[in-house]
Amino acid sequence: MKRILFFALSWAMLSTAAMAQQHAHSPAAEADKAQVAQAEFKVWGNCMMCKKRIEGALADMEGVVEAHWDVDSKMMHVRYDEQVVSLMQIKKAIAGVGHDTDEVRAPDEVYNQLPGCCQYERPEQ
């Protein structure tokens, strides 16, 4: 139910943005907008260092428009171009720097090299 509400809200925001752009007569921006998807999922981590590492993993990733991880809720919010990158690729990139996601688990050897303060309690396999 929460998810449905989130998508409904996202859709409302996207529609509003699209209308705003029409007024601005910016067809290029509109074309960009049309392909941008967004998702929210859990990423395990502890602190601001984790936040830097998690968001940093996506900073230079092609197709990622926006990446934000909330330290308190552990929720990752991404906006990305579906034509360029998949949600699974995004999750793999995050797992690749040592952080478990709802679908992709970080390799043990990478996790073990995280600083002590960043070694979160791992979810069940």
- Sheet containing strand 64-69, edge to edge, reads 36-42, 75-81, 64-69
Q: How far is the CB of 105 from Cu ion (least distance, A)?
A: 17
In the range 105-124, which residues lie near Cu ion by CB under 5 A? 118
How far is 53 from 113, CA to CA, in rounded Å? 13
Instruction: Choose between 74 and 105: whose C-beta lies nearer to Cu ion.
Output: 74
Instruction: Choose between 19 and 117: whose C-beta lies nearer to Cu ion.
Output: 117
Considering the rule CB under 5 A, would residue 71 count as an interface residue with Cu ion?
no
Amino acid at 70: D
Which x/- pattern, by CB under 5 A, does the window 39-68 give for Cu ion? Answer: -------xx-xx------------------
- Nearest Cα to 90, choosing from 63, 120, 123? 63
Instruction: Choose between 98 and 104: whose C-beta lies nearer to Cu ion.
Output: 98
